[in-house]
Amino acid sequence: MLAALTALAVSLAGGSARAGTVAYELDQVATFSAPVYADDDGVHPNLLFVVEQAGRIRVVRNDHKLEKPFLDIRDKVQFGGEQGLLSVAFDPDYDDNRRFYVYYVNNGGDIRVDGFRARAGKPARAAAGSGKRVIKVDHDQAGNHNGGQLQFGPDEYLYAGTGDGGPQQDPENDAQDPVSLLGKVLRVDPEPGGGYDVPGDNPYVGEAGKNEIFALGLRNPWRISFDSASGALTVADVGGTAWEEIDYVASPGEGQPGGLGANFGWNDYEGTHETAFGTGVNASPHTGPIAEFSHVRQNMGGDGFCAIVGGYVVHDPGLTSLQNEYIYSDLCNNSLQTVQVPSGADGEDLGFDANGIVSFGEGWDGQIYTVSQNGPVSAIEPIT
């Protein structure tokens, strides 16, 4: 998905658009060097953390970008194309333990999740030397399809979306193979000193498969997210040659996420369409997408998508007409749009020219941010 990012030279254009009866605009926060993600720490409402692909996390404090980075691990990160430092997630008990986790591609090309701690009394700086390896996933087939998202679920476990390894059509069938950690959503309980425990209800605990697997059958889940209100899981899975898809699994309730053991179908299915190259046992029945978008150009009746950019179910009280809808975009069709969940019905088209958008962020009080690979991180705001 990120392979095309460096070829994009157009800049994020601001402006406004009307969604329903409410007009919105992009309010630029700051610019960065190849940003790929933004998040808050859940504790300090005046801080926003922005991940730069080359291996740094920068901080915006009270709308001012700080000169010194929160974290700098450029010496550990293999950067370029779809590789790099790809996301950050803050522990649900961050206020007490100051722990946070990063997802990156290391110098050997493998996927790494490491844990760090912020400095005591200095929330805008990570503690030097605090890094501990949580998990490493071998990724030696190709440099693409690394996935990239970390999220803590409503159960307070850490989730990671991994890509299928890279080769076209997943010839090794990694996404469907329960012995491979590629093409999956993983779910672990990180240990303070490094490493992790496995939740006892993960679907392959005691079965023939990797205990870390929570869900399988994904091609390149560049962005996954949990609904901060309902706990439902949404996966925007980057497609191959024909279709992009949004997968959604409702929470079963009581703070538990849905999707335990779900099979999202790749490489037997791309969207709702059965492929001719799937191998092994066909992934049917499987959890199909709630929405899909074609690669056919718009002037030929298609959607003009090429790599979906997933966001969040909106709960920002200022985005009134977007409430409880999932916001997303695409690397080629750059319009900001929403889809209703769980029905998959069309939501709003905000009409923004958001060329270069590669990610969204969900900040304090549900604030939604757009992240452009060209530099700008912007908040979606109502025009008052």
pLDDT at 12: 29
Asked if residue 92 is part of any domain, the answer here is yes
Asked if residue 29 is part of any domain, the answer here is no
Q: How far apart are CA 175 and CA 161, in angstroms?
A: 11
Asked if residue 265 is part of any domain, the answer here is yes
Q: How far apart are CA 311 and CA 223, in angstroms?
A: 7
Asked if residue 45 is part of any domain, the answer here is yes
pTM: 0.94
In total, how many domains does the chain have? 1
Share of the chain above pLDDT 90, in %: 85
Residue 89 lies in domain = 35-313
* DSSP SS3 for 6: helix
Asked if residue 376 is part of any domain, the answer here is no
Residue type at 15 in one-letter notation: G
Count CA atoms closer than 13 A to 67's CA, side-chain side: 0
pLDDT tens-digit map of 275-305 = 988 876 666 789 999 999 999 999 898 999 9
pLDDT tens-digit map of 316-363 = 999 999 999 999 999 999 999 999 999 999 999 997 767 799 999 999
- CATH number of the domain that residue 180 is part of: 2.120.10.30
Q: What is the largest CA-CA distance in the chain?
A: 57
Asked if residue 378 is part of any domain, the answer here is no
Asked if residue 21 is part of any domain, the answer here is no
Q: Buried b vs exposed e over 82-114: b needs ≥16 C-beta within 10 Å? A: bbbbbbbbbbbebeeebbbbbbbbbeebebbbb
Asked if residue 383 is part of any domain, the answer here is no
Q: How far apart are CA 319 and CA 314, in angstroms?
A: 8
Share of the chain above pLDDT 70, in %: 93
